[in-house]
Structure 1
Amino acid sequence: MGGLVFLSSALFMGWSLGANDAANIFGTAVGTKMVRFRTAAIISSLFVIIGAVVGGSGASHGLGALGTVGQLPGAFILSFCAAITVLLMTKSGLPVSTSQAIVGAIVGWNIYTGSHTELSVLSKIVGTWIFGPILAGIFAALLFLLVRRIVNNSTIHLLLLDRYTRGGLLIAGAFGAYALGANNIANVMGVFIQAIDLPTRQIAFVSLSGEQQLYLLGGLAIAVGVVTYSKRVMMTVGNNIFKLSPISAFVVVLATAMVLFVFSSTALSDLFISIGLPPIPLIPVSQSQACVGAVLGIGFVKGGWRIINYRLLGKIAIGWVATPLMSAASSYLLLFFMQNVFMQPVL
């Protein structure tokens, strides 16, 4: 029972991720009215759970290299502070990053406990905050040029094109939800992996390890967040940065999913090693940042920088900077209270 109480902050974190990051998978599709919110929520919920259980271990262990939390009270505080930070940003309608929030909380824990922060790991993670949106923008720009050329050179009837576009949005959204679950479940359950040990269980015809049970629980929490609180952020990304056509929306969803998949695929990283290339860092990246980068990539191709809402973009950038700082500060403060007021171990 005590373990479930401490895991409540992870469930809160999963709900926050579903309300914020998972919303952006279908944000452009819902914003352009090509997909209904209810349909988007159902597909996102199903595939984010599958992705978390099947492919969540790579990024989770990558995050663990930044700081290993061995006690449930400490893991509870880190997850709680990250979730509160994301919630406050979400209430402002800003698509911030749960990856930034949990990384900030871990750094706060390292500072409080005197643990060493592995700078090489931190630099890789921070590097993805910069490179992720750029890569998404490149993917989106190239995909948009390719799709536009195919459409312009085809004789597809507009009604049929509309049907294909809706189908493409649903398929790309399912892929995006899977990639989000595989990559960002680390933000929900990564700090609990070393703090709690669950025996392997047989559920229906599937055998789930202790880690996979945590990922399943986190995936369910993300799904609840999608269903209950994601619509506002969907509309922010889908409508306000710059207006998207339905085809552009498909490209944004696909480009964002590709970025998350790249940084969560163990098979792809192993392939790079086998051909003599450096391994891809398997770490949680920001789905929100990738989505914004993809939107900007299409905006640049369609009309340059003139048609972009710079005021909103500036507010989003401020949120990206404030998120890890706020999470680290609150983590440090609440760890002090947990250890010295509630007399719970945090190391």
Structure 2
Amino acid sequence: MSDNKFDPGHLETLDRDLGRLNAAETAMGYVARPMVAPGIALVFIVLAGLLAAMMMGGTTSGVVIAIAAVFGAYMALNIGANDVANNMGPAVGANALSMGGAILIAVVFESAGALIAGGDVVSTVAKGIVDPEAAGSPQVFIWAMMAALLSAALWVNLATWIGAPVSTTHSVVGGVMGAGIASAGFAAVNWPTMAAIAASWVISPALGGLIAAGFLWFIKERIIYQDDKIAAARRWVPVLVGIMAGAFTTYLALKGIKKLIKIDFGTALLIGAVVGLIAWQILRPVIRRQSEGLENRNKSLKTLFGIPLVVSAAFLSFAHGANDVANAVGPLAAIVHASQAGGLDAAISIPFWVMLIGAFGISFGLFLFGPKLIRLVGSQITKLNPMRAFCVALSAAITVIVASWLGLPVSSTHIAVGGIFGVGLFREWYAERRIIQARVDIPEVPAPAKGERQRRKLVRRSHLLTIAAAWVITVPAAAILSAMLFFLIQFIVG
């Protein structure tokens, strides 16, 4: 009879056991959560290797190409995690896009750019930096390309981990250079090309920053600090959006659709001018209707720049996908070509399955690991609003056009981040200038104390130093790592 009696002690024991189980499950959740993204990335990398092995069938080079595809998939993931933040960061930081919306737009347009118009710069990656004939044999060239691809991926992964947006283009260039030197000596490197790339470390961010600051000055002088802000916006916002439309049309004509049709610089500029004029005419009544009923304040102006900013981010993603996918699949395409043809005499083409690895890898990398760098670029360097972010996006397109006209190799990463720093530093200078002007007009206004002036700094100097240091050491770091990997591969296979 006593066995059937209700015992409260059993409930207490059960509660304690359930509490322990709940605590264990919670702890496991915290442990497992950081492993979800790397787990999905690992599955993608393995699938890329299996796809390559399946596409190559039973060829003797199938294993080598499968390993190269694994390295290419790993690089594509890192491009998505690091490089794409430069396109989406300003729009997210200005609250024109949510993080989810930015990732969705970037995934769609990065993939479209990679698959529709990608692969234009593969020959530069494969042949323009190091002479393939200097390697002596296709096999040595293949080992060099594999070392370059893996070293670039490892370097970009490290940069993402420490929170530094670096140029994936320069990472690949450094990797190819280091492997080329290790395999064939310093004479194999095209040093004039490397000198031009080194010059772009300074030219890209400086030009991007100056152009972004120039547009922000124009917006402040012609719109923000006018008595009737709405009337000024009706006049100038269509002009600015028309310039943006023309710039991106020229940008895409020059950089994004070479695979589909060849367009010279003058023709691209003419097409961009026509599209810009059409956009200006279309947007004049649109902006007028959109501005009706808005209060005469800065907050109202932000709504007029929101949609153009989102469109500019989408265009930047398309152009980035078209150009930078070659950083992931360029060496892989060179390896496939060298394995099948026994050399690099003919022009290199990218098989569609290779482009798929690059496009999906960039998308997965952005989705799984991109938010960290998007937040850094968008809000942790300097505070952005739609007007400032619009200036950064417009600067990126115009800087690439100017660089193409001058024949200078530039980095989209350096341009975008340089534009953000340019906007922030200009705001510091402009605020200081207005304080000085106010003291001239009203002498009684006291000068701000040194500590107060320091607190008014609008750009985080720690990020400036970290990013600049990462930019400077990207090529030599990737080169040294690539040379070490090349010797390691030779030791393993030799």
TM-score normalised per structure 2: 0.59
* Structure 1 position 87 matched with structure 2 position 157: yes
Q: 1:126 & 1:51 partners in 2: Cα distance?
A: 27
Of the three residues 354, 361, 371, the one matched with 1:231 is 371
Using the TM superposition, give the Cα deviation of residue 211 of structure 1 relative to its aligned residue in structure 2, in angstroms.
Answer: 5.0
State the Cα distance separating 1:165 from its structure 2 match. Answer: 2.4
Larger Rg belongs to: 2
Alpha-carbon contact 1:68-1:191 (below 8 Å) kept: no
- Higher relative CO (CA 8 A, sep ≥ 6), structure 1 or 2? 1
Letter in 1 for 2:178: G
Q: Conserved in 2, the CA contact under 8 Å of 1:176 and 1:258?
A: no
TM-aligned CA deviation for residue 77 of structure 1 = 2.0
CA 211–125 in structure 1, closer or farther in 2 if over 3 Å, else same: farther
**Is residue 2:476 matched to residue 1:334?**
no
Q: Distance in 1 between matches of 2:464 and 2:350?
A: 41
Contact 2:175 2:482 in 1 (8 A): yes
Instruction: From 400, 414, 418, give the equivalent of 1:289.
Output: 414
**Contact 2:145–2:179 (CA under 8 A) maintained in structure 1:** no
Matched, 1:143 2:211: no
Residue 13 of structure 1, aligned match among 67, 75, 79: 75
Among 231, 251, 256, the alignment partner of 2:396 is 256
Counterpart pick for 1:300 among 409, 413, 425 = 425
Give the 3-state SS of the residue equivalent to 1:96 in structure 2. coil
- Structure 2: distance between partners of 1:210 and 1:289: 27
Specify the SS of the correspondent of 2:97. coil
**Aligned residues of 2:201 and 2:471 also touching (Cα < 8 A):** no
Letter in 1 for 2:182: Y
In the TM superposition, residue 4 of structure 1 has moved relative to its aligned partner by 2.8
Structure 1 residue 326, shift from structure 2 partner: 2.1
Q: CA deviation at 1:13?
A: 0.8
Q: CA deviation at 1:68?
A: 5.2
1:201 corresponding residue in structure 2: none
> What is the alpha-carbon distance in structure 2 between the residues aligned to residue 177 and residue 262 of structure 1?
19
The separation in 2 between residues aligned to 1:342 and 1:238, in whole angstroms, is 45
Preserved CA contact (<8 Å) 1:7 1:76: no
Unaligned 5+ residue runs, structure 2?
1-52, 54-62, 133-137, 235-290, 339-348, 431-456
How far, CA to CA, are the matches of 1:237 and 1:231 in structure 2? 10
Residues 181 and 483 of structure 2 are in contact (CA less than 8 Å); yes or no, is this contact kept in structure 1?
A: yes
Cα contact 1:108–1:329 (8 A) shared by 2 = yes
Hey, what does 2:148 align to over in structure 1? 78
Q: d(CA) in 2 for partners of 1:211 and 1:126?
A: 31
Identity, % of aligned positions: 27
Q: 1:38 to 1:176 in 2, by over 3 A?
A: same
Deviation at 1:258, TM superposition (A): 4.0
Cα deviation 1:127-180 (Å, max 9, x = unaligned): 222211122112212322344424642363267644432211210101111221
Q: Is the 8 A contact 1:179 1:261 kept in 2?
A: no
Task: State the match for 1:266 in structure 2.
Answer: none
Give runs of aligned pairs for residues 48-63 of structure 1, distance below 5 A: 48-63=110-125
* Amino acid in structure 1 at the alignment position of 2:233: S
3-state secondary structure, aligned to 1:197: helix
2:233 touches 2:301 (CA, 8 Å); kept in 1? Answer: no
Q: Distance in 2 between matches of 1:120 and 1:184?
A: 22
Instruction: Please name the residue that 1:169 is paired with.
Output: 309
Match of 2:382 among 226, 242, 251: 242
The separation in 1 between residues aligned to 2:152 and 2:387, in whole angstroms, is 35
**Is there any run of 5+ residues in structure 1 with no aligned partner, and where?**
199-208, 264-268, 273-277
Q: Which of 129, 134, 152 does residue 66 from structure 1 map onto? A: 129
Measure the CA separation in 2 of the matches of 1:98 and 1:249: 22
Tell me whether 98-107 or 184-193 shows the greater mean CA deviation. 184-193
What is residue 59 of structure 2 aligned with on the other side?
A: none
Q: Distance in 1 between matches of 2:353 and 2:391?
A: 33
Pairs within 5 Å for 1:314-333? 314-333=465-484
Aligned-partner SS, 2:335: coil
- Which moves more between the two structures, 94-103 or 157-166? 157-166
**1:42: which partner in 2?**
104
Conserved 8 A contact 1:26-1:253: no
Question: Does the alignment pair 1:96 with 2:159?
Answer: no
**Count of paired positions:** 318
- Answer with 123-132 or 151-160: which moved more: 151-160
| Residue 326 of structure 2: aligned partner | 186
> RMSD of aligned C-alpha atoms?
2.5
Taking the aligned partners of 1:221 and 1:258, their CA distance within structure 2 comes to 28
Other-structure match for 2:191: 119
| Structure 2 counterpart of 1:32, from 94, 101, 120 | 94
Report the Cα distance in structure 2 between the residues aligned to 1:322 and 1:126, rounded to whole angstroms: 11
